[in-house]
C-alpha cells in the first residue's frame, strides 16, 4: 500500500531558528514528490515538485531536497508568516492521484 509519512507532526520555532521537516514515502512507480503549504481553512498551495534523487529546489526561506526514500523541507531563518501546515504528496504512476502525508504544523513565534 502506498504510504507517505511526515514528521514531526508539529514544530514550534522561534523566529530565525532554522529546522527541517521530513517526508518518507513508499509509493510504487513514483513520479515526483510534491510539497504544499496549507493555511487554516484554505486549500493546499503548491510549493515544489522534485523528480529525482539529489534534486533540490528553493523558494525564499524554503529548500526542498529528495533522496530515494525521503524528502526534506528545510526552513532557514523562519518568520512568523511561515507558520502553516506543510504537506508532502506523491503521485502514483498510473492515474496520478496524489497520496498525501499527514502534514507538519509549523508555528513560528516572534
Partner 1 sequence: EPEVTQTPSHQVTQMGQEVILRCVPISNHLYFYWYRQILGQKVEFLVSFYNNEISEKSEIFDDQFSVERPDGSNFTLKIRSTKLEDSAMYFCASRGDSNYGYTFGSGTRLTVV
Chain positions contacting partner 1, by CB under 8 A? 31-32, 34, 36, 41-46, 49, 51, 87, 89, 91, 95-103
As measured in angstroms, the least distance from the Cβ of 55 to partner 1 is: 13
Distance (Å, whole) CA 106 – CA 80:
10
Distance (Å, whole) CA 39 – CA 52:
28
Closer of 9 and 15 to partner 1 (Cβ): 9
Q: Left if phi > 0, otherwise alpha if psi is -120 to 50, otherwise beta: which for 28?
A: beta
Closer of 15 and 58 to partner 1 (Cβ): 58
Closer of 78 and 101 to partner 1 (Cβ): 101
C-alpha grid cell, residue 94:
498510473
Amino acid at each position: 500500500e502506498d504510504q507517505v509519512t511526515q514528521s514531526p507532526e508539529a514544530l514550534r520555532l522561534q523566529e530565525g531558528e532554522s529546522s527541517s521537516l521530513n517526508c518518507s514515502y513508499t509509493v510504487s512507480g513514483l513520479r515526483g514528490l510534491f510539497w504544499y503549504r496549507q493555511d487554516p481553512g484554505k486549500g493546499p498551495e503548491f510549493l515544489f515538485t522534485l523528480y529525482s534523487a539529489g534534486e533540490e529546489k528553493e523558494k525564499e526561506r524554503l529548500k526542498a531536497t529528495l533522496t530515494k526514500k525521503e524528502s526534506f523541507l528545510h526552513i532557514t531563518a523562519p518568520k512568523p508568516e511561515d507558520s502553516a501546515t506543510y504537506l508532502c504528496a506523491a503521485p502514483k504512476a498510473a492515474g496520478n492521484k496524489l497520496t498525501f502525508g499527514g502534514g507538519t504544523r509549523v508555528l513560528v513565534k516572534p
